[in-house]
Structure formats: C-alpha cells, structure tokens
C-alpha cells in the first residue's frame, strides 16, 4: 500500500473553528477519526497536514484528538493544538464540563417524545451490548433524547450525551426499538450510505482551555447525505 497523500486545502470546507489552541472539524461519515493501525485515511492526519500548510509550520505538528466519533458517524471532532490545551480539555471532559449534542435519524416513532435512558453496557468484538450492572466490564451509560420531527417512517432525535461509552447512542436507541438508519450492526433495515449511519455530532460546548470562556461549536449536516437532505 502506497503512502496516503492529504491535500490540506480540501479540508477547508470542513473547518468549524480554528485558533492557536484548538481546531474543530466536521468529520465526514466513513472516515476514521485517528490512525487505527490499518493504514486507512484518517481525520487527524488530514487535519495535521492542514495545520502544517495553513500555519506554515515546519517539522512535526502537534495535534491530538480530544475525543473520537465512530467511523460511521459524521460531525464535530475537536483537536488540541498544544499539550496544555489537551490536558485541560481532557480534564474538563472527565469532569463532564462539556455538552455533546447529537442528532439521530432513527427507524420508528418513540413511545414518548422525550426520555432519559440509563443502561449498563459492555463491549467486545467491535460491538456493544446491554448487560447487567454486576457483569464483568459493565459501564453505566446515560443519555437524554427529544423528538424533533417525524419524516415518514423515521424520527429525528436530539440526543444529549451524558456519558461517552463505546457505541453508546447506537446500542441504547436500538435497545428501545429505535435503531439508527443505516446502522445494520444494531438492527437497522434502512441500508447504510457510503459506510455511514444517520448519526451526527451536531454541537459541542466546551470551556476554552486558555481563555476559560465557554464556546459552542456547531456542525452542519453533511450536504451529500440523502438522509440529512430531507431533514
């Protein structure tokens, strides 16, 4: 396999926020957030090349993802451009001093227009499962959803993610009979689109690591997706 070439300017339409400490990018579905050891294209290496070119940096460029979203998911990914910013943001996330809002197009109609879901989850073999709290590896998972609209047999949900477990939104919604469109792994009958599912990280609220001023970064829906064009 040849070396992957990243064209910095091609990332320009996906840049959501940039300063000397942070870079936020609207990740397309089907693209890894970070290098997985498979040699596939990933957003972090692409963003690092963007910083190198845009900021005229020589040598190695420090850039590290503060959080990750699944390959099949689109939306906001935040990177730290300094080690100090990374440490502070990681601590804020541990302290839950942030808010992550996702939008999900799910199959079916929720029994209640809004609810809080709490489950215990475990995962192995690239899949999460609902389990009991006393099971080995069980982690508590909490989210809140609100129905925004119905689109034929699909429902658009706003999801406020309290915890960040592996495949959390995907398995929790599927467990109440609302699989995300395209998410065949968790029971969807609507087929996936370009390796993507209808789950989008729409908004991230953080405290800036140096100014300590709250900022909210919003990511528009991907224009190329047939799912999001109908919303």
Say what percent of the chain tops pLDDT 70.
99
Euclidean distance between CA atoms 202 and 71, whole angstroms: 15
What confidence score (pLDDT) does residue 231 get? 86
At 52-99, the pLDDT tens digits run: 999 898 888 999 999 999 999 999 999 999 999 999 999 999 888 999
At 179-200, the pLDDT tens digits run: 999 999 999 998 887 779 999 9
Alpha helices in 1-57 (DSSP H): 43-54
> 2: pLDDT confidence band, cut at 50, 70 and 90?
low
Q: Are 122 and 143 in contact (CB under 8 A)?
A: no
Is the pLDDT at 1 greater than 60, yes or no? no
Is the pLDDT at 230 greater than 90, yes or no? no
Report the Cα 59 to chain-centroid distance in Å.
29
The answer for residues whose C-beta is within 8 angstroms of residue 64's C-beta and 6 or more apart is: 44, 79, 80, 86
Average pLDDT rounded to a whole number, residues 162-191 = 95
Q: Up-side HSE of residue 180: CA atoms within 13 Å toward CB? A: 26
What confidence score (pLDDT) does residue 124 get? 85
Euclidean distance between CA atoms 104 and 172, whole angstroms: 12
Average pLDDT rounded to a whole number, residues 30-40 = 88
Average pLDDT rounded to a whole number, residues 27-33 = 95
Euclidean distance between CA atoms 106 and 220, whole angstroms: 18
| Structural domains of the chain in order of their starting residue, each with its CATH number | 8-229 (3.30.2350.10)
| C-alpha dist (Å) from residue 19 to 16, 33, 101, 108, 119 | 11, 20, 22, 41, 38
């Amino acid at each position: 396999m040849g070396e992957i070439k990243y064209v910095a300017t091609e990332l320009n339409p996906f840049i959501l926020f940039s300063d000397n400490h942070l870079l936020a990018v609207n990740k397309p579905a089907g693209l890894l957030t970070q290098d997985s050891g498979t040699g596939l294209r990933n957003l972090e290496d692409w963003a690092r090349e963007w910083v190198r070119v845009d900021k005229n940096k020589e040598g190695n460029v420090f850039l590290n993802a503060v959080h990750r979203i699944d390959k099949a998911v689109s939306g906001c990914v935040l990177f730290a451009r300094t080690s100090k910013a990374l440490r502070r943001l990681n601590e804020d996330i541990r302290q839950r001093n942030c808010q992550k809002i996702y939008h999900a197009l799910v199959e079916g109609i929720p029994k209640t227009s809004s609810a809080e879901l709490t489950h215990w989850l475990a995962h192995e073999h690239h899949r999460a499962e609902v389990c009991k709290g006393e099971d080995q590896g069980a982690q508590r998972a909490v989210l809140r959803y609100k129905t925004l609209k119905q689109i034929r047999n699909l429902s658009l949900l706003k999801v406020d993610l309290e915890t960040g477990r592996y495949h959390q939104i995907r398995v929790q919604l599927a467990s109440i009979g609302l699989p995300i469109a395209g998410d065949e792994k968790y029971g969807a009958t609507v087929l996936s689109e370009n390796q993507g599912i209808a789950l989008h990280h729409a908004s991230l609220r953080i405290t800036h690591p140096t100014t300590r001023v709250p900022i909210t970064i919003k990511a528009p829906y991907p224009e190329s997706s047939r799912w999001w064009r109908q919303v």
